Structure 1
Amino acid sequence: MNFLAHFFLSGDDPGLMAGNFLADFISNREVNELPAEVQRGIVLHRQIDHYTDSHAAVRQSIQRLYPRHRKYAPVLVDVYYDYFLTHNWAEYTTEDFSSFRQKAYAALHLYLPSMSAIMQKRVQGMVEADWLRSYGVYEGLEYTFMRMKSRTSMPEHLEGAVETLKVFREEMDEEFRWFFPEVLGFVRNVFPATHDTTRDTTHDTTHD
């Protein structure tokens, strides 16, 4: 899962949101220096990642992308699923998307003093460019993948990532709709009472 989905799965808890964001950028030693509520968000992030990696719908999406994008297929699926969350937003929550983004950015600002200088700079760039909105439009995804290519050892495997999304949009939207209600149900069980604005879609799926 990418940033938007991790924020969403944190519910209304700023500490969980901040931890869910920081989890991929912080060492185990640094975790112990963070506020307890942010540490809980890191734990939640890792539980979500474990659940996601083992889910049949996600594995199916990755397999679909592997012939063209190889080892970066899981990374692309993470970003694509944020795209699908944006376009299916009203199915999962009654909260306005713009209001949610501001809430997520406010959570990061709240815990900015607990972050390293590098992470503070990353957060500032994220907020200024409104990354969470950009995942829902092709131009924003192009920019996201361009940033990724500058940090990877085999950027050629990220070429054509937006075109791949367009080709498999219908199939992957169906896989996302299979997966997301189930990961929501998982998080409700692990961290109950954090999703008052989400719609209960745990029984909408037709997959086993």
Structure 2
Amino acid sequence: MNYLGHAFLSFGDAEILTGNMIGDHVKGKLALEKFPEGIRKGLMLHRKIDSITDVHPAIQRAKVWFRQDYGLYSGAILDSLMDHFLANDPQFFPSSHDLLQFSEKTYNQLETQQAYFPETFKQYFPYMREHNWLYNYRTLQGMQRSLNGLARRAAHIPPIENAYKTFIGHYYQLAQCYYEFIDDIVKAVKIELNPNSL
């Protein structure tokens, strides 16, 4: 999952959301100690989500279509693509308005936690909000921008155009992989946040 997925899987808690969203920018156990407990919980949740995603059979199957061209970058590409299918999932976002409201609420919650942003996240959070990255995962044009952004951040990734072509060419198979995956990750996160929920 990418930013939308991590935001969604924070289930409305501002501190968990912050940790979940900045997770890629905080490395190692020692780095966790400077954060409040709720943000630490979000950081650990981010790592848990990533580890579950990486080994899920549906995600492993989806990576095959990208592995020849992109090797280890297949996982990062799939993270963005799963956000597209989440953004269009009527179970969670019945309309574009629902996704827009969720996106604005997420930005507002993050704004209250800016003191805890790592420098890299602090630098591009304004662009995330201004260009509404979370909402724009919903559209094909938004996905092109998302993949182009990944290409800018990953210096050695092969030309990203083929990833978009593969995404379109395998759209319905990728959607099926998403639907096989999403209920499992939602259940796993709910158990992680509330072990007594079963």
User: Structure 1 length as normaliser, TM-score?
Assistant: 0.85
Whether the 8 Å contact between 2:25 and 2:118 is mirrored in structure 1 is no
Alignment RMSD, CA only? Answer: 2.0
- The count of aligned residue pairs is 193
Which residue in the other structure is 2:15 paired with?
15
Alpha-carbon shift at residue 10 of structure 1 (Å): 0.8
Whether the 8 Å contact between 2:10 and 2:20 is mirrored in structure 1 is yes
Decide which of 162, 165, 173 is 2:164's aligned counterpart: 162
In the TM superposition, what whole-angstrom CA distance separates every residue of 1:151-192 from its partner, at most 9, and x where no partner exists? 323332523222211100000100100000111111111113
Alpha-carbon shift at residue 144 of structure 1 (Å): 1.9
Decide which of 179, 182, 187 is 2:181's aligned counterpart: 179
Alpha-carbon shift at residue 33 of structure 1 (Å): 1.1
Which residue in the other structure is 1:128 paired with?
130
User: Residues 53-202 of structure 1: matches in 2 within 5 Å?
Assistant: 53-88=54-89, 90-92=90-92, 96-192=98-194
Alpha-carbon shift at residue 107 of structure 1 (Å): 1.9
The structure carrying a bigger helix percent of its residues is 2
Whether the 8 Å contact between 1:138 and 1:162 is mirrored in structure 2 is no
Which residue in the other structure is 1:197 paired with?
none
Q: Indicate the SS of the match to 1:122.
A: helix
- Aligned mates of 1:12, 1:158 — CA distance in 2: 33
- Stretches of 4+ aligned residues off by more than 4 angstroms: none
Consecutive unaligned residues in structure 2, runs of 5 or more: none
Q: Indicate the SS of the match to 1:136.
A: coil
What fraction of aligned residue pairs are identical, expressed as a percent?
A: 23
Consecutive unaligned residues in structure 1, runs of 5 or more: 194-208
- Aligned mates of 2:73, 2:27 — CA distance in 1: 22
- 2:41 paired with 1:48: no
User: Structure 2 length as normaliser, TM-score?
Assistant: 0.89
- Aligned mates of 2:65, 2:27 — CA distance in 1: 32
- Aligned mates of 1:128, 1:91 — CA distance in 2: 27
